[in-house]
Structures are given as structure tokens and as C-alpha cells.
């Protein structure tokens, strides 16, 4: 009598394996990886821009984008005659950052190859990554802003976020907070809804600027003073 249930379980397992294989196949190409990494800045890019980043012809880029769309790693937005592509969500960005960290382990040299300015600070889709972000996470952990597992802000942490003007979503569709392993620093930075709210607050206050089309961020003089005062971080 239990055979139908066993069959259903087997079917579910097979479907999962096929889906996982499809995602892995979509990522397993240097040109598509270049496109996905470009989209890690959280913005929408045109096919022409992505073909330039990957250094491939527009027709070839179209085929690669179709594969990424079919695997639901990216989405397409249409505005008039223009089409823009972006990552399907923060979970895809987190997957890519994790894969970067795993890939770094197989490199012969233990020294990161990431450009210095990106190791200092960059965006990871909708939150801050890099050395400064790791420093912020360490400060928040030591000061009791985060629960021990890093998956939620403490009441004190929520108050500090409110004081900073970081607007939290009361009903987030993802984790309110999460510890993202920073692939260049090999330590954690803050992700989830809290990480996104913090980056947005920094931008509104004019403490940092995002470079359009890139993951790079630069800090203003006011921001440098604020980071030293609040997080005890000396931003160079």
C-alpha cells in the first residue's frame, strides 16, 4: 500500500536532481559567469552591456541570457523597446558569493586576486560586502546588535538600526538577517533584509556612493567620519 508514496518520493528526488543539474549547467560557462558577476551590483543591464562585459558577440549573448532566464537565475524587464536583465533575487547573489568562496579554495595562491578597492568595499546585490562590511558585522556582533546565530537583530540592534535610519521590512519575504561568508575576506558580512536596509541608509545619508554599472562603492568624507564614530572603522 505504501508503493505510491515511495514512487512520489522517488519522482520528487529525480525532479530535484534535474533542477539542480540545470542550474549548475547554466552557471558552468565563463561567459555566463561574467554576466552574472556583473549583475551582482543589483542593477539591471542591457544585453549589449552584458555582451561587452563577457567580451562576446550580441547573438552569442542572447543565447546565454536565454539559458540563464530558463534556469530562473535572472529576470527580464521590458520598458518600451528596451529590455533589461537583472538577478532573480538576493538568493541568487548569495549563491554566487558562496561559489566564489568555494572557488577561491582551489586557487594555488592564498592571496585574493580581487582588486584592492573591491576587497575594501563592494556591493553584493543589495547589501555591502568586503573588508568594511566584515568590520561592521564584527562590530555589531561584539556590541550585541545581532543574535548569536546572526539570523536576526536583537531588540538593541533594531533600535540602533532605527537610529541610523535603516528601515526594516516588518514582513520580509526572506531572512531578516543572515551571515554571508565574504569570499575575499573569508569572514562574515551582513545579508538579508537588514543588510539591504543598512546599505540603503548609508546611501540616503550620503555616506557612500555606488559606481553605476559596477560593484564598487566609494566613501564620502562625511561617511568616513560616521563609520569611525559609529562602527570604530577607519575607512581609507
Domain ranges within the chain, ordered by starting residue: 3-88, 91-231
User: Which value, in Å, is the radius of gyration of the alpha carbons in the chain?
Assistant: 20
The pLDDT value recorded for residue 230 is: 97
The pLDDT value recorded for residue 225 is: 97
Measured between alpha carbons, how far is 133 from 65 in angstroms, rounded to an integer? 31
Q: Note the pLDDT tens digit of each residue in 122-164.
A: 888 889 999 999 999 999 999 999 998 888 999 999 999 999 9
Q: Tell me which of 83 and 3 has the higher pLDDT.
A: 83
The pLDDT value recorded for residue 107 is: 53
Q: Note the pLDDT tens digit of each residue in 6-55.
A: 455 566 667 878 888 888 899 999 999 989 988 887 778 889 989 988 89
Q: How large is the average pLDDT for residues 159-183?
A: 89
Q: How large is the average pLDDT for residues 103-130?
A: 69
Pull the grid cell for residue 169.
Answer: 521590512
The pLDDT value recorded for residue 221 is: 97
Measured between alpha carbons, how far is 10 from 101 in angstroms, rounded to an integer? 32
**pLDDT higher than threshold 80 for residue 91:** yes
Q: What is the pTM of this model?
A: 0.65
The pLDDT value recorded for residue 113 is: 45
Query: In which band, very low, low, confident or very high, does the pLDDT at 104 lie, cut at 50, 70 and 90?
Result: low
Q: Note the pLDDT tens digit of each residue in 191-207.
A: 989 999 999 999 999 99
- What value does the mean pLDDT of the chain take? 85
Question: Do the bridges between strand 82-87 and strand 122-124 make them parallel or antiparallel, or are there none, so unpaired?
Answer: unpaired
Q: Note the pLDDT tens digit of each residue in 65-85.
A: 999 999 999 999 887 788 889
The pLDDT value recorded for residue 111 is: 47
The pLDDT value recorded for residue 109 is: 45
| CATH class entry, domain 3-88 | mainly alpha
The pLDDT value recorded for residue 208 is: 96
Amino acid at each position: 500500500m505504501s508503493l505510491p508514496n515511495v514512487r512520489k518520493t522517488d519522482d520528487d528526488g529525480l525532479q530535484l536532481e534535474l533542477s539542480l543539474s540545470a542550474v549548475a549547467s547554466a552557471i558552468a560557462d565563463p561567459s555566463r559567469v561574467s554576466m552574472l558577476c556583473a549583475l551582482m551590483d543589483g542593477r539591471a543591464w542591457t544585453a549589449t552591456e552584458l555582451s561587452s562585459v563577457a567580451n562576446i558577440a550580441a547573438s552569442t549573448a542572447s543565447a546565454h541570457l536565454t539559458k540563464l532566464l530558463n534556469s530562473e537565475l535572472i529576470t527580464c524587464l521590458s520598458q518600451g523597446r528596451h529590455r533589461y536583465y537583472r538577478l532573480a533575487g538576493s538568493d541568487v547573489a548569495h549563491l554566487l558569493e558562496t561559489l566564489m568562496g568555494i572557488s577561491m579554495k582551489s586557487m594555488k595562491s592564498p592571496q585574493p586576486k580581487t582588486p584592492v578597492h573591491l576587497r575594501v568595499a563592494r556591493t553584493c546585490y543589495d547589501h555591502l560586502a568586503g573588508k568594511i562590511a566584515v568590520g561592521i558585522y564584527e562590530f555589531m556582533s561584539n556590541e550585541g546588535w545581532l543574535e548569536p546565530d546572526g539570523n536576526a537583530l536583537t531588540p538593541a540592534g533594531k533600535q540602533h538600526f532605527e537610529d541610523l535610519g535603516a528601515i526594516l521590512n516588518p514582513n520580509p519575504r526572506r531572512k531578516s538577517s543572515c551571515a554571508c561568508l565574504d569570499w575575499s575576506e573569508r569572514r562574515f558580512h551582513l545579508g538579508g533584509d537588514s543588510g539591504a536596509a543598512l546599505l540603503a541608509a548609508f546611501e540616503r545619508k550620503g555616506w557612500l556612493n555606488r559606481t553605476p554599472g559596477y560593484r564598487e562603492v566609494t566613501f564620502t568624507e562625511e561617511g568616513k567620519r560616521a563609520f569611525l564614530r559609529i562602527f570604530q572603522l577607519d575607512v581609507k
